[in-house]
Structure 1
Amino acid sequence: MISLKKHANIALGYFFLVGLLGTFLRFFFVIPIPANFRYVVHSHSHIALLGWVFIALTTMIYKMYFAEAGFGKIYKRIFWFTQITLIGMMLTFPFTGYALFSITFSTLFLFASYFMAWFILKKTPSHYKSTYSFRLIKAALWYMVFSSIGPWALGGIMATMGSASIWYKMAIYYYLHFQYNAWFILALLGIFFYFMEQQDLRPQKGHFRSFFWQINVAVILSFFLSVLWVEPHWIFYVLGGAGAIFQIMAFVNFWKIISPFWKQLHFSAFLKLLLKIAGAALAFKLVLQLFSALPWFANLAFSFPDFVIGYLHWVFLGVVTVCLFAFLAHHRLLSLPKWVFWLYIAAFLTTEALIFYKGFITWQEMALFENYFRWLAYCSLFLPLTAGILLINNILTKRQTSAKNP
């Protein structure tokens, strides 16, 4: 029997480490630290996407589709192989950056993610494969596989053109786009539709079909928003703008689909509030992407990295992580005290405000307020603090949720 709560705790452990590494990075601007900033950035980003989010999502997907189907041995082998690759990255990236061992472990993780995608796509029981939730999960997994083209391309780009090449950044943006806007978002949507299906709340087939093709067109076209920093031909602005518009259309359609069922959903009032907060954060994300299709805003965003950093953190902490909290709690894989969540939100909003403030001040060529970096570092401490409290609280909570528990 697999204790999925232990797997959720491992995901939370990665989230705690991500918070520590992020805070550590911000203290680089406060006190002298004998470490390589870029190396720590690599570790921070890899553990954020591949540790916390990947493990949390795949744990929930296993809970959804394999509670009665079994295949525990195969899943456990893939799961623990994945942990070896993640621990290897944690032990190598902060000290070596992109070098032999870190590249080896990150490459092995790609294979682990392929194994996980194969396992879910191949072994999911047939009666789930016709559901709306699985269609979204299936698309999310394929986008996750497609996103890996970016990391595979980096080796060749560095060997031939070097890290200063525009193609180096392009490969990274390609990877981030299909992780953030496809794998993460579509997987979360699939989990939400699964909850609806478990309560026999099924939208009309035509409504879902319309939403599904809109969100997929949006994923493909909105990638072009990631290339506007090179000031390309005007057609790329049109394609990126169309992608941003399709995203908005898709989520308006999504709201129309779920709104008739919202009151019937068996989520607690608190978890519904979390989903509303994530929805508000998502709406802001969609507006930012729409504006970024305009040349002036595109140049502004990419000329001042704090805007891009703030956007990435907004999506990661405000949309993805809040949804993960809600879904893990609903799955009974996470004990989520309200006061801890509100402390997390306060830390998230404060640090985001400070990041976007720095971008605005730099753009306006003004002076930051005194001790800005110190305040940003101190406020950031509350992010790993809340993650650590959640982890300890979850470990101490007696209820253990297995793959066969409801």
Structure 2
Amino acid sequence: MNLKKHIGIALAYFLLVALMGVLLRLFFVTPVQLNFKYILHAHSHTALLGWIYLGLTTLIYKIFLSEAEKSKLYKRIFIFTNICILGMLVTFPFQGYALYSIIFSTLFLFASYWFTWFAIKNIPEHFKHRFSWKLVKASLWYLVFSSIGPWAIGGVMATLGTESIWYKTSIYFYLHFQYNGWFILALLGILFYILEEKSVVFKAEQLKSVFFLLNFAVIFTLFLSVLWFGPPKIIYVLGLIGAVAQILAFYELYILIKKQCSFLIKSISPQGLLLFKIAGVLLVVKVFMQFFSAFPYMADLAYRLKDFVIGYLHLVFLGIVIPLMLAFLNYFRLLKIPKSFLWFFLVAFITTEALIFYKAFAFWLGLPFFQNYYILLAILSCLFPIAVGILFFNQIKSFYLST
């Protein structure tokens, strides 16, 4: 089974995500005869469930499960998952959250449960006590746990409506455990697998502390996601405790792996190393953004100025999760990273993030807001599909050459 083909499919979704991102920008520039929210739903679902989900599950299969000799079952799961993704892709843009899109998104939840069961049941014995698998296993449980959000949305829409605080809370619940639980812990698990394979040994008590703090932080930073409606003060305190725990967790993690930096530099390609450095820097930014969001003034500011939230989500998705995943795909030879992709992607990311955050700061601090802002943002966003297109077609070329 050629997993490069699976990554090629994931990249096709990534390309569609980038194109839909440009389309969303065009809504603010020129009349578009489509529904903005519907396209936004398609954009976000395809990004999280098409590109990132397939990328991570392919990595997990290759690293931990390929020797289990269950390729036929994995292939069935992969095909079923893609049917669900394609179903969402063709229904969300035209109907938003409605019968058929809900059917496919619900089926996707079952696909994720299926993969989680498959991974936990078929993990080879010699992996079961590794710290890397412990992290990945926890990430899979967070993947399952995050699905409470989508299940709740249906009930909330049917009873309380989309204006209820529980509607947004259900969405934020889902996003929180996707980003901070499933994505981050899975990527950390892959990092520790690489270190373990190179015979790097850590003290058991250090690993235990990191694991506890990471999970404590994932659970308690959930409270940061509900500060937008002004809950009781205890919720702010719990969110702050989670944010502090997260800072401590990543500080301990840094102390653990900083001695291995020279090894990582030698083991990873220059492109992968650059992506690692970017993700590392932005991870620090992320945890401190979450820390400051625990304070009432900043929480209210983020609620009033949505660009802070959009910028944060893009920072985590485009600046941390995707760079790390690409670096790992490159390390395991599932993907080549052309330098041209890096330049286009980084210019697109840096400039669009700067504009998104500038708008938020401009409205907050009364800074000048220039007239052609949305046109410039749309133009710069066009660099994303160019970058991803380079990556996608390079992958297709690589796949056909290898066969």
Normalised TM-score (structure 1):
0.97
Structure-1 separation of matches of 2:14 and 2:173: 24
State the 1:358 CA deviation.
1.1
Which amino acid in structure 1 is aligned with residue 144 of structure 2?
V
After superposition, residues 323-338 of structure 1 pair within 5 angstroms as: 323-338=324-339
Residue equivalent to 1:200: 199
SS at match of 1:336: coil
Structure-1 separation of matches of 2:154 and 2:191: 37
Residue equivalent to 1:36: 35
Distance 1:124 1:400, change over 3 A: farther
Q: Name whichever of 51-60 and 267-276 sits farther off.
A: 267-276
Structure-2 separation of matches of 1:67 and 1:101: 34
Residue equivalent to 2:376: 375
The percentage of counterpart residues that share the same residue type is 53
State the 1:43 CA deviation.
0.4
Number of residue pairs the alignment of both structures matches: 401
Residue equivalent to 1:71: 70
Confirm or deny: 8 A CA contact 1:332 1:401 kept in the other structure: no
Which amino acid in structure 2 is aligned with residue 71 of structure 1?
K
Residue equivalent to 1:185: 184
Structure-2 separation of matches of 1:310 and 1:370: 20
Which amino acid in structure 2 is aligned with residue 14 of structure 1?
Y
Cα distance per residue 1:106-165 (max 9 Å; x no partner): 000000000000001111111111101100000000001000000000111111110000
Cα distance per residue 1:82-123 (max 9 Å; x no partner): 000000000000000011000000000000000000001111
State the 1:351 CA deviation.
0.3
Higher normalized contact order (CA 8 Å, seq sep 6+, divided by chain length): 1
Confirm or deny: 8 A CA contact 2:340 2:387 kept in the other structure: no
State the 1:360 CA deviation.
1.5
Which amino acid in structure 1 is aligned with residue 346 of structure 2?
I
Query: Is 1:7 the equivalent of 2:6?
Result: yes
Which amino acid in structure 1 is aligned with residue 79 of structure 2?
W
Residue equivalent to 1:294: 295
Structure-2 separation of matches of 1:7 and 1:129: 26
State the 1:11 CA deviation.
0.9
Cα distance per residue 1:55-81 (max 9 Å; x no partner): 000000010012322100110000000
Residue equivalent to 2:307: 306
Structure-2 separation of matches of 1:99 and 1:295: 36
Which amino acid in structure 1 is aligned with residue 131 of structure 2?
Y
Which amino acid in structure 1 is aligned with residue 248 of structure 2?
M
Which amino acid in structure 1 is aligned with residue 312 of structure 2?
Y
Structure-1 separation of matches of 2:79 and 2:376: 39
Cα distance per residue 1:328-385 (max 9 Å; x no partner): 0001111101232122011101000111111122224555202110000000000111
Which amino acid in structure 2 is aligned with residue 158 of structure 1?
M
Structure-2 separation of matches of 1:213 and 1:231: 29
After superposition, residues 103-142 of structure 1 pair within 5 angstroms as: 103-142=102-141
Which amino acid in structure 1 is aligned with residue 329 of structure 2?
L
Residue equivalent to 1:160: 159
Residue equivalent to 1:249: 248
State the 1:32 CA deviation.
1.0
Structure-1 separation of matches of 2:103 and 2:290: 34
Q: Name whichever of 287-296 and 197-206 sits farther off.
A: 197-206
Confirm or deny: 8 A CA contact 1:5 1:401 kept in the other structure: no
Structure-2 separation of matches of 1:243 and 1:89: 34
State the 1:400 CA deviation.
7.3
Confirm or deny: 8 A CA contact 1:222 1:241 kept in the other structure: yes
Residue equivalent to 2:350: 349
Structure-2 separation of matches of 1:398 and 1:89: 27
Confirm or deny: 8 A CA contact 1:333 1:401 kept in the other structure: no
State the 1:264 CA deviation.
2.1
Query: Is 1:322 the equivalent of 2:328?
Result: no
Confirm or deny: 8 A CA contact 1:3 1:400 kept in the other structure: no
Which amino acid in structure 2 is aligned with residue 51 of structure 1?
G
Q: Name whichever of 44-53 and 355-364 sits farther off.
A: 355-364
Distance 1:13 1:398, change over 3 A: closer
> Which 4+ runs in 1 deviate beyond 3 A?
364-367, 398-402
Structure-1 separation of matches of 2:219 and 2:163: 26
Confirm or deny: 8 A CA contact 2:271 2:342 kept in the other structure: no
Query: Is 1:212 the equivalent of 2:211?
Result: yes
Confirm or deny: 8 A CA contact 2:55 2:325 kept in the other structure: yes
SS at match of 1:370: coil
Which amino acid in structure 2 is aligned with residue 102 of structure 1?
S
Unpaired segments of 5 or more residues in structure 2? none
Residue equivalent to 1:385: 386
Query: Is 1:80 the equivalent of 2:109?
Result: no
Structure-2 separation of matches of 1:309 and 1:122: 37
Structure-2 separation of matches of 1:400 and 1:202: 39
Residue equivalent to 1:228: 227
State the 1:51 CA deviation.
0.5
Unpaired segments of 5 or more residues in structure 1? none
Q: Name whichever of 361-370 and 19-28 sits farther off.
A: 361-370
Cα distance per residue 1:182-237 (max 9 Å; x no partner): 00000000010111111111211111111000000000110000111111111111
Cα distance per residue 1:10-34 (max 9 Å; x no partner): 1111111110111100001111110
Structure-2 separation of matches of 1:181 and 1:164: 26
Structure-2 separation of matches of 1:193 and 1:117: 20
